[in-house]
């Protein structure tokens, strides 16, 4: 029997009600677009260990309300999917508040989206999502998932992410869009009490509820999923990234004066020579001890999730997302003996731009987002793995990704193996057609 504690995420509750946000908020004139400030606070959730101890089980304290929809840019199919999804959840789940990014709100307008929430025109800071979003739904490929995760790059807690594969590769995406009704219902009802428990807990002498008065789980027919059939979650590890100058002073992670503290990355952090013709010279420290002086185009520090991205293209190992680790991979190293390393996730890694570097500065990017300013000689990039679980075994951090369970209900992450074979063509023989 697993006696480890489960992780419970309980943000500050709002007193503005449990259902859809009241209609008398800050609404743009002539539209149905409203500010994020009008939304109720996040709904708390917890992640419980399953018997297989691989995937976790999602349990809401009450039905989720605030759902952020993110789509791939310049794609008619993802636009149509987002509109169809939005109309379905708004009609079927009366307490859902639909959130979209400002560019999507401007593109689609209220005639397609109906009542929705977005950032105010005067402030597009992604930190506004913190404490508001219950669930993120993406329509696109792996890049769309990375973009969604980057919206919470400064947050220590990330809401669950439900992803529909509508991009180029879709290695991280689990669901087909044709399954969107089943997928959302599974997530929405995850943790809902069974019919038997509802009868026991409810007051039998109370007046039966009028159908029009039902809210949350009680508004959806067939709510007897129970905790044993909750949505399965793969908690993906993130990198914690800090940038410091030669004097040890913390620099902003994006180079623009914002985020003067650590940022989190789902895939990788990259130090690269950029447009400079000279190779970068980087001192590499592992666990506080000097490892080597790297002379290369750059260096990659990635998570297991990022092991199938740029690190793989640079010759790095493929690591299963359940293996807590950090990958240190050189980009076109001058030395033939500089091989990629796989290190424990608890081992901090520091990349310091050497004084021998002939270029004035090098570029830094975090999950594909390049820092607006390069870093100079003596600057340090300090990276460590995020702790997914506490010492007691409770879930602490990470990115909860909703997984597609098999028809047999198996908890194992067989999607990863299928992705290696079907998408990455792992060990695919030469000369054979796909």
Q: For a pLDDT cut of 70, what percent of the chain falls above it?
A: 79
Q: Which fold has domain 239-385?
A: Tumour Suppressor Smad4 (2.60.200)
Examine the pLDDT at 137 and tell me if it is beyond 50.
yes
Hey, where are the domains in the chain? 7-236, 239-385
- Mean pLDDT for all residues in the chain: 83
Q: For a pLDDT cut of 90, what percent of the chain falls above it?
A: 54
Examine the pLDDT at 19 and tell me if it is beyond 70.
no
pLDDT score recorded for residue 256? 57
Examine the pLDDT at 158 and tell me if it is beyond 50.
yes
pLDDT score recorded for residue 284? 98
Report the DSSP pairing between strands 325-331 and 349-353: unpaired
The 10s digit of each residue's pLDDT in 43-96 is 989 898 887 777 889 999 899 999 999 999 989 999 999 999 999 999 999 899
pLDDT score recorded for residue 220? 67
* Selected residue with higher pLDDT from 156 and 286: 286
What is the mean pLDDT of the segment spanning 20-29? 53
Burial of 299 (0-12, 13-18, 19+ CB in 10 A): buried
pLDDT score recorded for residue 26? 55
The 10s digit of each residue's pLDDT in 216-273 is 676 665 544 555 568 999 999 999 999 999 999 998 876 655 556 789 999 999 999 9
pLDDT score recorded for residue 97? 96
Does 3.40.50.10330 match the CATH number of domain 7-236? yes
CA distance 281 to 293: 7
The 10s digit of each residue's pLDDT in 398-426 is 999 999 876 544 555 557 888 888 888 88
pLDDT score recorded for residue 4? 43
pTM attached to this predicted model: 0.85
What is the mean pLDDT of the segment spanning 211-216? 46
pLDDT score recorded for residue 254? 67
Burial of 43 (0-12, 13-18, 19+ CB in 10 A): buried
- 169-178, 214-223, 343-352: which range is least confident on average? 214-223
Report the DSSP pairing between strands 33-35 and 116-118: parallel
The number of beta carbons lying within 10 Å of the beta carbon of residue 18 is 14
Do you know the residue count of the chain?
434
For every residue of 273-335, DSSP letters joined together read -TT-SSPEEEEEEETTEEEEEEEESEEEEE-TGGGGTHHHHTTPPP--TTS-EEEEEEES-SS
pLDDT score recorded for residue 206? 42
CA distance 369 to 254: 8
End-to-end CA distance of the chain: 44
Closest CA to 239 of 252, 260, 253: 253
pLDDT tier for residue 382 given thresholds of 50, 70 and 90? very high
**Residue in the structure block whose two tokens are 């130090």:** 271
CA distance 18 to 145: 28
For every residue of 106-134, DSSP letters joined together read HHHHHHHH-SEEE--TT---GGGGTTT-S
Closest CA to 240 of 373, 395, 374, 382: 382
* Alpha-carbon distances of 112 from 31, 32, 399, rounded to whole Å: 11, 10, 30
């Amino acid at each position: 029997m697993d006696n480890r504690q489960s992780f419970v995420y309980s943000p500050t509750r709002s007193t503005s009600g449990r259902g859809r946000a009241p209609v008398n908020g800050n609404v743009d004139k002539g539209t149905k677009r409203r500010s994020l400030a009008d939304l109720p606070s996040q709904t708390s959730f917890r992640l419980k260990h399953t018997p297989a101890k691989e995937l976790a089980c999602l349990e809401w304290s009450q039905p989720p309300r605030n759902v952020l929809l993110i789509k791939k840019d310049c794609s008619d199919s993802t636009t149509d999917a987002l509109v169809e999804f939005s109309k379905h959840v708004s009609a079927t789940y009366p307490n859902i508040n639909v959130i979209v990014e400002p560019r999507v709100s401007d593109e689609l307008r209220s005639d397609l989206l109906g009542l929705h929430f977005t950032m105010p025109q005067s402030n597009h800071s992604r930190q506004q999502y913190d404490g508001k979003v219950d669930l993120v739904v993406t329509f696109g490929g792996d890049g769309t998932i990375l973009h969604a995760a980057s919206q919470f790059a400064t947050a220590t807690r990330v809401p669950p992410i439900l992803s529909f594969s509508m991009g180029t590769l879709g290695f991280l995406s689990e669901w087909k869009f044709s399954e969107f009704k089943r997928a959302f219902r599974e997530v929405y009802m995850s943790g809902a009490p069974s019919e038997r428990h509802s009868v026991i807990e409810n007051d039998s002498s109370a007046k039966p509820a009028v159908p029009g008065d039902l809210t949350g789980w009680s508004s959806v027919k067939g709510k007897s999923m129970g905790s044993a059939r909750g949505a399965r979650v793969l908690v993906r590890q993130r990198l914690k990234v800090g940038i410091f100058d030669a004097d040890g002073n913390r620099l902003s992670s994006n180079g623009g004066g914002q985020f003067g503290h650590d940022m989190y990355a789902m895939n990788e952090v990259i130090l690269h020579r950029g447009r400079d013709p000279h190779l970068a010279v980087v001192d590499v420290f592992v666990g506080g001890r000097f490892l080597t002086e790297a002379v290369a185009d750059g260096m990659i520090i990635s998570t297991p999730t990022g092991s199938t991205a740029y690190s793989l293209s640079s010759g790095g190992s493929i690591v299963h997302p359940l293996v807590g680790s950090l990958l240190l991979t050189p980009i076109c190293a001058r030395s033939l003996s500089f091989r990629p390393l796989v290190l424990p996730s608890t081992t901090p890694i520091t990349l310091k731009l050497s004084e021998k570097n002939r270029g004035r500065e090098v570029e830094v990017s975090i999950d594909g987002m390049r820092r607006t300013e390069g870093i100079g000689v003596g600057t340090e990039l300090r990276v460590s793995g995020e702790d997914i679980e506490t010492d007691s075994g409770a879930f602490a951090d990470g990115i909860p990704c909703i997984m597609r369970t098999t028809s047999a209900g198996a908890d194992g992450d067989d999607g990863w193996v299928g992705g290696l074979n079907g998408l990455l063509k792992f060990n695919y023989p030469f000369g054979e057609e796909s």
